[in-house]
Chains A and B, each alone.
Chain A
Amino acid sequence: MGKKKDTFFNMVISLLVITVVSGFLLGYVNDLTMAPKAKARLQKKVNALKIVLPKFDNNPVENVKRVKSEKVKDSIEIYTAYANKNKVGIAVTGSSEKGFNGLVKLMIGFKPNGDIQDIQILDQKETPGLGTKMTKEKFLKQFRGKNPSTYKLKVKKDGGDIDALTGATISSRAFAESVQIAYDEFVKTIDSI
């Protein structure tokens, strides 16, 4: 079989066929992966909740509270955990656009008295080897058990209490800002829940 000639008709038809076929293929795969994708995203949140909150026996994802804030692009999510009907912790998402490569999104778990239980990173695109070290234990452990009402959520360079990551002050600042936003929201809502 020889090569198709470069007639106008041939060109239009071949491009049309290719785009239609790929369009349908993409639509089909998109339909196929929609449910598993949503499930995977939810699973990630549930896993993060399990880490940042004390042991709980309700389903915090079910009664999530979304709050709009001018500091954050998408809404702040607040999850409340109960064990034996007692409020044991609140997880708040905080994010900052001031990371080295944009968005840094965290999930911060607070005890009812405001102490930080633990922090999980939901999203970050920082420089590998520098800013990405924020996911490492060495950086995260300085936040645990601290109460932001007395613990200044700023890097030491800016007069705060946080040891910034070497060579990644910008990433550390974004991290601190995210925690601060989450804490502010926590303070606002702690009494209403």
Chain B
Amino acid sequence: MVSKINQKENFIKGIVKENPTFVLLLGMCPTLGVTTSAFNGFGMGVATLFVLVMSNIVVSLVKNQIPSKVRIPAFIIIIATFVTVVEMVLEAFVPFLYEQLGIFIPLIVVNCIILGRAEAFASKNDVFSSIIDAFGMGLGFVIALTILGATRELLGNGSVFDFKLTSENANTFIIFILPPGAFIALAYLTVIFNKLTSKITG
């Protein structure tokens, strides 16, 4: 079996060294699509975090029962099931949150971070390590999406978390709210992130 894992490092790696967005560049579809405001980015991140934790738990529990040739379809079914459950529960019991996040939730299925962690980590490690891994990765994703969303909202709309920082009629860079701005903001943030972390990770 796998040698003992340093759980602290296991947790931190998802946020810094293997940050899913800024380092692994995984899950670009929701990253670019929904980060038009800080709140949207944060909400998408949290929803993904939840599904990631749940799918990592289940995948690591059933990993020995699934023949390796059919593991990908099996993982996808598990993930899709959780996403649908989350969507139905949110719509029924927290309609306010559902209204804000509704359109992003089905997108979580196609988020390759979740499949990536199921494949690369949960299918090889025990439940506890997989949960830690999911929290680390999920948190890294939440942080990345919130920063990206806040940057785009600030430049494109002059506000952060709907809190106006500029005057009502100020001319902002509307392009940052639009799709091209997502690519521009992500590129520069990736550069800054890697510049800063290269000192730590060497």
Contact = CB atoms under 8 A, between A and B. Distances in A.
Contacts, number: 84
Given A29-B85, A129-B157, A6 B68 contact: yes
B173 to A, nearest CB: 11
Contacts of B68: 3, 6
A125 B70 CA distance: 37
A1 B36 CA distance: 47
A26 B81 contact: yes
Contacts of A44: 95
Given A14-B74, A127-B178, A37 B88 contact: yes
Contact of A40 (B80, B95, B168): B95
B92 interface: yes
A128 B67 contact: no
A26 B84 contact: yes
A14 B85 contact: no
B89 interface: yes
Interface string A114-151: 00000000000101111000000010000000000000
Nearest to A1: B64
Contact of A127 (B36, B69, B78, B89): B36
A64 to B, nearest CB: 20
A159 interface: no
A22 interface: yes
Nearest to B86: A29
Contact of A33 (B65, B70, B88, B153): B88
A36 B69 CA distance: 40
Q: Is the interface of A mostly helix, strand, loop or mixed?
A: helix
Interface in A2-33: 2-7, 10-11, 14-15, 18-19, 22, 25-26, 29-30, 32-33
B77 to A, nearest CB: 5
A40 B92 contact: yes
Given A2-B64, A19-B77, A129-B157, A29 B89 contact: yes
A22 B156 CA distance: 42
Given A4-B65, A4-B66, A18-B77, A128 B37 contact: yes
Contacts of B157: 129
Contact of B92 (A5, A18, A26, A37): A37
B91 A37 contact: yes
Interface of A: 1-7, 10-11, 14-15, 18-19, 22, 25-26, 29-30, 32-34, 36-37, 40, 43-44, 125, 127-130, 138, 167
